[in-house]
Amino acid sequence: MRRLDSTLLAVLLVVLGAQSSMAHVQFQKQWVEMYIDKDDKSPENKAYIKLVAKGKDRCLVCHQGKKRHNYNPYGQHFVGNLTEDDKKDNEKIAEWLTKVGKMHSDPDDESSPTYNERIADRKFPGGEVEELRKPVEGDDDADDADDEEDDDDE
């Protein structure tokens, strides 16, 4: 009986983990569709696509550090506004991408670039990539296993 309970728990954790990362994949795909010009064959655009759409840093569009529950300033605008239930609602995702894109990257500085302007300049919207890669307080390797799985799916 104990073995059956352990097996059921493991299956449940896998299913719940897959659902949570699937939502992020949908949001990221919608972001790529909205912001990446796939017709631009310039070396700069190819490098940007590799960085934000295909590379290991693609999660840094909305996140920072190692843990996927750490959101950068851009990603924080989506927390509570887009949920896992919205993963198939492309209109709502696009609405929030548009709304957040118009916001200034520094809310206290009206002269700061908007997130859309940062993206148009082929930068990560939430900050400089070197800063986004740095571990955030609370990041540790002890409970990184589920975040590493998410990296493969996002």
The 3-class secondary structure across 95-125, one letter per residue, is HHHHHHHCCECCCCCCCCCEHHHHHHCCCCC
d(CA 107, CA 147): 29
pTM listed for this prediction: 0.75
E strand or H helix at 50: none
d(CA 65, CA 138): 10
Domain enclosing residue 125, as ranges: 2-153
pLDDT exceeds cutoff 80 at 103:
yes
Give how many domains the chain has, as a whole number. Answer: 1
Question: pLDDT for 30-87, tens place per residue?
Answer: 999 999 999 999 999 999 999 999 988 999 999 999 888 899 999 999 999 999 899 9
Question: pLDDT for 114-151, tens place per residue?
Answer: 999 999 999 999 999 999 999 988 776 544 444 444 44
CB 114 within 8 A of CB 104: yes
Quote the tokens at residue 117: 């302007």
d(CA 110, CA 48): 26
